[in-house]
Amino acid sequence: MAAYAVRLIPAWMLGLACIVLSAVGASQDVAALQYLPIFGVGVAIEGEWDRIGRAVDRLTRRAGRWSGRSCWSSPGSSSACTGSLLGPLGHGPAVTLSQAPIVIGAAILVIAAVHCTTLRRVLTWRPIAWLGGISFSLYLIHEPIVILMANITDASRWTLLTAVPLALVVAWVFWLIIERPAHHISRAVRARAAWRPDAGPRQDAAVTDRPVEPAAPPTHGERELTHSGRPSQ
């Protein structure tokens, strides 16, 4: 969907609008308006991912190691500094004023996870990579499971011990039957949206994912035609 979105509106404008909407949602204590635009920031990043990668590569070459070390620490430090500086103002003002820096920091962290070697090594460790794969499914289903187990166990310790493994299992199943097929559909839609008429024949994701079948060997007549220029009699 990002390919369609960036055709309608520039990616930087889409990202900026979503950051502003998220900050407004935080100020008005409207959860949907606070959190849903964050997905729009992700769409803006995905729509300009190649350009962002080239820009990061240029900055890394110019700044050297300092850029590689600081790019992954800046998101965490910005979020931490925002919370500590605005904490004395009270919960409401702190949430309102810190929402935009937190969203920007999270966006930088997503980019750093790919382009910063140290962070990439940590995040590609197999257990963490598996958790990252099911993270969105876990985000969607964890709350009702935690509430359910809290009502059943009536003890915070048992709620933690039962809800966490159950949520992980349910999230994995949800990823298998819903999220992973949705990703396949999304890639096919993105390939269709990114195709240009002057770019030649379109190859959909469903077609390009198939292995190429080997060609059948030539027959005796075809071999004779190749060598003599005419079919054998």
Q: Is residue 55 in some structural domain?
A: yes
Beta-strand ranges (E) seen in 80-222 are: none
Residue 215 lies in a domain: no
* Same-domain check for residues 54 and 133: no
**Which of 101, 124, 147 finishes a domain?**
124
pLDDT for 205: 44
Q: What is the pLDDT of residue 7?
A: 65
Quickly list DSSP for 155-208: SHHHHHHHHHHHHHHHHHHHIIIIIHHHHHHHHHHHHHHH--GGG-S---HHHH
102 belongs to a structural domain: yes
Q: Are residues 92 and 150 in the same domain?
A: no
Count of domains observed in the chain: 2
Please report the DSSP string for 120-133 in residue order.
Answer: HHHHTSHHHHHHHH
Report pLDDT for 98.
83
Same domain, 114 and 188: no
Q: What is the pLDDT of residue 198?
A: 59
- Is 41 contained in some domain? yes
Range of the domain at 62: 1-124
Q: What local confidence, expressed as pLDDT, does residue 146 receive? A: 92
121-145 pLDDT tens trace: 888 899 999 999 999 999 999 999 9
The answer to whether residues 91 and 130 belong to one domain is no
- Phi-psi region for residue 116, left (φ > 0), alpha (ψ -120 to 50) or beta? beta
Instruction: Tell me the HSE value of 155 on the side-chain side, using a 13 A CA sphere.
Output: 5
Per-residue pLDDT of the chain (233 residues; tens, 9 = 90+): 555 565 678 888 989 999 999 999 988 889 899 999 998 998 889 888 888 888 888 877 776 655 555 555 555 555 545 656 666 666 667 777 888 888 888 888 888 888 888 888 888 899 999 999 999 999 999 999 999 998 888 778 888 899 999 999 999 999 999 999 998 898 888 777 766 565 555 554 444 444 344 444 455 444 444 444 444 44
- Closest by CA position to 72, among listed 13, 125, 113: 113
Cα gap 31→33, rounded to integer Å: 6
Q: Tell me the two tokens of residue 191.
A: 């390939």
Q: Do 47 and 146 lie in a common domain?
A: no
Nearest to 166 by CA among 142, 132, 139, 150: 142
Same domain flag for 36 and 106: yes
pTM of the complete model: 0.61
Rounded distance, CA 107 to CA 111, Å?
Answer: 7
Which one-letter amino acid corresponds to residue 37? P
User: Which amino acid makes up residue 186?
Assistant: S
**CA distance between the termini of the chain:** 59
Residue 157: the pLDDT is 83
Task: For residues 113 and 129, state if they share a domain.
Answer: no
Query: Same domain for 36 and 109?
Result: yes
User: Domain check: are 89 and 130 in the same one?
Assistant: no
